[in-house]
């Protein structure tokens, strides 16, 4: 297990490096500089700006300077928000993003798995059809469609829930963003865990357990649940990425001052350092969370530990 952990840890390093290299090259390969679009600057000013952002150095030098900064947690200055660094921006606006993303993730896992199991165990019943119909709807409707439609009906028309973020005190403002973000994932996880549990329940070792006179409840609890949850666990990696992506639009739609909103603003304003910094930050976050998922997987499946 220790070797497996070490191996996975070491395996994550090239991924992180690749992320930084790719992101850096993408930005620098772009035609024109960050300040081209605006009014013409005098060559003096341009040179000054270039020096300030180290744009006058050779590309490899710039890269290693940037990499050095990243390794110390310094993502450089923002091009647009002149007085702050990218790291500070992320640190200031991360908590609310994490809060919403984390709650959505938790909700998605709990409700999704519960629905999936329910559907799998009542395959002939109406439960299954209802849950699966809902799930198909859920995976097909994108977050940025779901959220405004919820807002339209629940906030604008029925006025059950607040639409504005900054104007609302209390926790009720979290409800719509979290549910909108979680619903598609609930649907996906429900489908996944249903299919997986059905698959496991048809395997030979479940037949053995039936032949041993174990009740359906015992069979699910002691024999089927663990293997059935493995696909759900390996979906956690992609799910994290999807939730992060979704939080970008959710924050935009509900006006939540999270990292995602700054990301979109940065993208629209061509704030290269900000966008680059957030991409790298998110990428590293996802790689790390994936690593945790991998380790959990190894903990659950004895065959993985044995291999390699």
Partner 1 sequence: MSLLEVDTLSVRYPGVVAVDGLTFSIDRGESLGLVGESGSGKTQTAMAIMGLLPADAEVEGDIRVDGRSLLSLDDAALNRVRALEISMVFQDPMQALNPFVRIGDQIARILLEHRLAAGDDASGKVVDMLDRVGLPDPERQYRAYPHQLSGGMRQRAMIAAALITDPALLIADEPTTALDVTVQAQILDLLEELRDDTALLLITHDLGVVAGHCERMLVLDRGRKLEEGPTRTLFVSPDHPHTRTMIDAAPRLGARQPPDPRMSETILIADQVDVIYPEDQLQAVHSTDLILKAGETLALVGESGSGKSSLVRAILGLVTPAAGDVEFDGIALPPDVRRRKPADLKRMSMVFQDPVGSLNPQMRVRDIVGEPIGSSRHSSVSATLARVGLDDSFSDRYPHQLSGGQAQRVAIARAIITQPRVLVCDEAVAALDGTVRQQIIDLLMSIQRETGLAIIFIAHDLAIVEGLSHRVMVMYLGRPVEIATARDLFSRPGHPYTRALVDAVPEPDPLSNKYSFVRGETPSPIAPPLGCAFHPRCEHAIARCRVELPKPREVDNRTIACHRYEELRTEVESSPN
Partner 2 sequence: MKTAIARAFAHRTVLVSASLLAIVAVFAFLGPVLSPNDYAETDFDELRAAPTLSDLHIFGTDNLGRDQFVRTMLGIQVTLAVAFIASFVSLVIGVLYGAVAGLVGGRVDAVMMRFVDTLYALPFIFFVILLMVAFDRNFLLVFVAIGAINWLDMARIVRGQTLSLKEREFIDAARLGGVSLPGIIWRHIAPNLVGIVIVYVTLTIPQAILMESFLSFLGLGIQEPRTSLGSLVENGVGQIESASWLLLIPAGLLALILMCFNFLGDGLRDLFDSRSSA
**Shortest distance, position 188 Cβ to partner 1, whole Å:** 24
Q: Which of 44, 60, 302, 308 binds partner 1 (CB under 8 A)?
A: 302
CA distance 71 to 66: 9
CA distance 164 to 157: 14
Q: Which of residues 269-308 bind partner 2 (CB under 8 A)?
A: 270, 272, 275-276, 278-279, 282-283, 286-287, 290
Determine the Cα angle at 36 with ends 35 and 41, to 5°: 80
Which C-beta is closer to partner 1: that of 155 or that of 234? 234
Contact status: 231 vs partner 1 (CB under 8 A) = no
Q: Name the residue with tokens 């910094």.
A: 277
Q: How many Cα neighbours within 13 Å face the side chain of 275?
A: 15
CA distance 26 to 3: 35
Contact status: 66 vs partner 2 (CB under 8 A) = no
Any residues with CB less than 8 A from the CB of 18 and at least 6 apart, and which?
none
Which range in 39-47, 102-110, 139-147, 205-213 contacts partner 2 by CB under 8 A?
A: 139-147
Q: Which of residues 153-212 bind partner 1 (CB under 8 A)?
A: 203-205, 207-212
Contact status: 30 vs partner 2 (CB under 8 A) = yes
**Shortest distance, position 221 Cβ to partner 2, whole Å:** 29
Distance of CA 212 to the CA centre of its chain: 43
| Interacting partner of 54 out of partner 2, partner 1, none (Cβ under 5 to 8 A depending on kind) | none
The residues that bridge with 85 in the sheet, in sequence order, are 77
**Shortest distance, position 1 Cβ to partner 2, whole Å:** 21
CA distance 154 to 137: 19
Contact status: 222 vs partner 1 (CB under 8 A) = yes
Question: Are 116 and 191 spatial neighbours (Cβ–Cβ below 8 Å)?
Answer: yes
Contact status: 214 vs partner 1 (CB under 8 A) = yes
The alpha-helical segments, DSSP class H, found in 122-256 are: 126-140, 143-150, 172-201, 204-211, 216-218, 225-254
Contact status: 218 vs partner 2 (CB under 8 A) = no
Number of residues that bind partner 2 (CB under 8 A): 50
Which C-beta is closer to partner 1: that of 10 or that of 211? 211
| Interacting partner of 227 out of partner 2, partner 1, none (Cβ under 5 to 8 A depending on kind) | partner 1
**Shortest distance, position 210 Cβ to partner 2, whole Å:** 22
Write out the DSSP string of 124-158. Answer: TSHHHHHHHHHHHHHHHS-HHHHHHHHIIIIIIIS
Which C-beta is closer to partner 1: that of 65 or that of 221? 221
Largest CA distance in the chain: 85
CA-based nearest residue to 237, from 181, 297, 195: 297
Q: Which of 106, 137, 292, 300 binds partner 2 (CB under 8 A)?
A: 137
Question: Are 246 and 182 spatial neighbours (Cβ–Cβ below 8 Å)?
Answer: no
**Shortest distance, position 135 Cβ to partner 2, whole Å:** 10
Residues contributing to the site for partner 2 (CB under 8 A):
14-15, 18-19, 22-23, 26-27, 29-32, 136-137, 139-142, 144-145, 148-149, 151-152, 156, 237-238, 241, 244-245, 248-249, 252-253, 263-264, 266-268, 270, 272, 275-276, 278-279, 282-283, 286-287, 290
Residues contributing to the site for partner 1 (CB under 8 A):
203-205, 207-216, 218, 222-223, 226-227, 300-303, 306
């Amino acid at each position: 297990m220790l070797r497996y952990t070490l191996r996975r840890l070491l395996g994550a390093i090239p991924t992180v490096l690749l992320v930084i290299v790719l992101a850096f090259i993408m930005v620098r390969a772009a035609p024109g500089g960050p300040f081209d679009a605006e009014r013409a600057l005098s060559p003096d000013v341009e040179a000054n700006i270039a020096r300030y952002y180290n744009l006058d150095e050779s590309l490899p030098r710039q890269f290693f300077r940037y990499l050095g900064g990243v390794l110390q947690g310094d993502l450089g200055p923002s091009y647009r928000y002149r007085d702050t660094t990218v790291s500070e921006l992320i640190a200031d606006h991360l908590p609310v993003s994490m809060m919403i993303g984390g709650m959505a993730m938790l909700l998605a896992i709990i409700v999704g798995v519960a629905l999936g199991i329910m559907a799998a165990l009542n395959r002939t019943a109406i439960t299954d059809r209802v849950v699966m119909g809902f799930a198909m709807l859920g995976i097909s409707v994108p977050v940025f469609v779901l959220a405004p439609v919820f807002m339209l009906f629940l906030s604008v028309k029925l006025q059950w829930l607040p639409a504005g973020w900054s104007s609302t005190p209390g926790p009720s403002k979290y409800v719509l963003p979290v549910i909108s973000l979680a619903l598609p994932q609930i649907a996906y996880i429900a489908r996944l865990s249903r299919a997986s549990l059905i698959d496991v329940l048809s395997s030979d070792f479940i037949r053995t357990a039936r032949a041993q006179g174990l009740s359906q409840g015992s069979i699910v609890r002691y024999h089927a649940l663990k293997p059935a949850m493995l696909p759900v666990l390996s979906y956690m990696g992609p799910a994290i990425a999807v939730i992060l992506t979704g939080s970008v639009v959710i924050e935009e739609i509900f006006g939540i001052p999270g990292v995602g909103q700054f990301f979109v603003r940065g993208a629209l304003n061509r704030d290269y350092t900000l966008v680059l910094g957030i991409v790298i930050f998110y990428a590293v976050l996802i790689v790390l969370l994936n690593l945790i998922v991998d380790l959990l997987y190894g903990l659950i499946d004895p065959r993985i530990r044995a291999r390699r």
